[in-house]
Chains A and B, each alone.
Chain A
Amino acid sequence: MNLAIRDIRHKLSRFLLTAVGIGLLLMIVMGMAGIYQGLTEDALSFLERTKANLWIVQRGTRGPFAEISRIPWSLEDRAYAVTGVATARAFVSHTIQREYQGKPLRIVVQGLAWPKDDGSVLPLVAGRALGQAHYEMLADRTLGLRVGDRVPLGKDIYTVVGITTGMTGPSGDGTAFFTVRDAIAIQYDVPGEAIRLEREARRSRLEKQDLANTQPLLLERAAGPASQLPALGTQNVVAIMVNVAPGVDPARVAKVISGWTDVTAYSNDVQRELMLKSIERNRKQIGLFRTLLVIISAIIMALILYTLTLDKIHDIAMLKLMGARNRVVVALILQQALLLGALGYGLAYGIGLWIFPLFPRRVAITNANLVQLSLIVLAISILSSLLGIWKAMSVQPNEILS
């Protein structure tokens, strides 16, 4: 005869209500683990996906994720020239916030090296990859955009042609993919008036020099578009992603590129470490909060089980009077603790599955996290029952006479 089950059956509604309370608490613990995991996955997902062997960034920086990096786009061609390099692609990424249909829209703008990369390797759930060099975009579904939506960014309007899933930046904002040229245009967009003022300033500076008097055509050129001025540098990107040819050691290529005095080359593993370091503080914060929640859960469970034991003191005294061994009494309390923990865990999982997708940031529940939490719940259940067991063990049979 299982005394624990019979006691639970006797006060079923109370037990279930308690289990719901424990379940909600465990759901928060589970959620914190999911947010912790989500933060890491968000940060690393792009790195995992690109599978670039090397990242060329501005010298002395830890870019492009942990720190700002700016290098000329032409570095793509320099990288191609290195022996052993199979592909070199410009990488552009920055976050913008615009208003769309009356609501703020935060987007991680990311450039694809069109036409080599049209985004078809991305996890598309609707629509298609990029089909032209300009004015098309792929949007992650967390942005809430649909295929066919036309989003004005800068001076142009971009049409959503595909929807991706799981594409968020390290900050959790949804990513939109454009060609590198469009991404740069969005990044360096300035208002028309600012352009006009800049052109006038250039013209004014030139007028003060003899050169303007001897070559009046230059004044006309200075007042024209910046892209038509050969004296200005090429556009900047944040990094160049390099993949080496099969059989080539990436370290050897990295050594060659690191010899250039204007850039640094990081392997994907180093980039991963830099990325994790950049979110280390957040991870620690969440991790500590989660630890606190586990301790609080254990204390609450212990108090609940202690109260449940106090309710049964008379019955435990009677069982002892009848000669029940200690293990009968321990089993009664421990089994209830384990059942409470198991039911709470199940409820936490069930409610979490339903509620976590509604969270604004990714809550990633992995099998490893579930196994870890189940072990934590097991430990909490056993530890929290100790208080009740201690109380039960101290009950004397003669208390039945009182």
Chain B
Amino acid sequence: MRTILQSDALSVDAQSLTKVYGYGNTEVVAMREVSFQVQRGEVVALVGPSGAGKSTLLTAIGLINPPTSGNITISGCPVMDGPRPLVDIRAFRRKYLGFVFQKANLIPFLNALENVQVAMEINDIPSRKARKRALELLDYLGVADRSGNPPSTLSGGQQQRVAVARALANNPSLILADEPTAALDSHRGRQVMELFRMVAHEQKAGVIVVTHDHRALDIFDRILEMEDGVLRPSATGPSSWNAETRA
């Protein structure tokens, strides 16, 4: 795998991403010529109506669902050239990407601590070291006292914090979150969003959050708005909407 350029200021650089599902009469263009960049330490919201292509964009950048065309560069390393991977995708995800979803998706047979620890052990970090860092992360996110609890005994907010800790476990250069607050009340939802901001700034990771929750948009550094598979031109830079919300 190509070495990541840690000094690269860009967390992700997406150029002309297009995703087409089906072919002929059933062809659907889910994403068309999407280009954007996210800096390290920057927290970006991705908003738009349902079916706008947000999740398609997120899964393309997350190397889960490759684009039909376009290029993706993460932390200075070109990773996708159209649908063709330029790196070992699974190994790249393991080392440089973190994911958080609407549901925490914690593994039910592991306790909170083990859920974080397993992400590091998968990445060949020795068990003892992984356990120590997992405890630090849970402490950092305020759920250290629940480290021995199985997921079923944690509240939705606690589960989501553990999921964030898991996403941070391998010091990823890019964190992708798909509606991480949808299952939480507004207070806890805001807490999680603030958590992303804190993580982005302190860990110097780029964070892209797909959200429908407009009440917490003031937390983000920038907002990207998608509609009908394309990024709205006004949203590719610092948004007036963002500015208004912050004001």
Contacts and interface: CB of A to CB of B under 8 A. Distances in A.
A371 interface: no
A328 B124 CA distance: 11
A400 B108 contact: no
Nearest to B96: A323
B178 A315 contact: no
B107 interface: yes
Interface residues of B, number: 29
Contacts of A400: 101, 105
Interface string A1-35: 10100110111000000000000000000000000
A401 B101 contact: yes
Contacts of A7: 109
Provide the main secondary structure of the chain A interface: helix
B105 A3 contact: no
A322 interface: yes
Given A6-B109, A315-B108, A400-B105, A322 B119 contact: yes
Interface string A364-402: 000000000000000000000000000000000110110
Contact of B107 (A318, A328, A398): A318
Interface in A56-85: none
A362 interface: no
B93 A321 contact: yes
Contacts of B75: none
A324 interface: yes
A274 interface: no
A1 B118 contact: yes
Interface string B61-87: 000110000000000000000000000
A324 to B, nearest CB: 5
B90 interface: yes
A325 interface: yes
Provide the main secondary structure of the chain B interface: helix
B114 A1 contact: yes
A322 B114 contact: no
B55 A401 contact: yes
Given A6-B110, A315-B108, A397-B64, A1 B93 contact: no
Interface string B22-66: 000000000000000000000000000000000100010000110
Contacts of B108: 10, 315
Interface of B: 55, 59, 64-65, 90-95, 97, 99, 101, 105, 107-110, 114, 117-119, 121-123, 127, 150, 166, 178
Given A1-B110, A315-B108, 10 more contacts: A10-B150, A318-B105, A318-B107, A322-B122, A323-B92, A323-B94, A323-B95, A400-B101, A401-B59, A401-B178
24 contacts: A1-B114, A1-B117, A1-B121, A3-B110, A3-B118, A6-B110, A6-B114, A7-B109, A9-B109, A11-B109, A318-B105, A319-B122, A321-B93, A322-B93, A322-B94, A322-B119, A323-B92, A324-B90, A325-B90, A397-B64, A398-B59, A398-B65, A400-B101, A401-B55
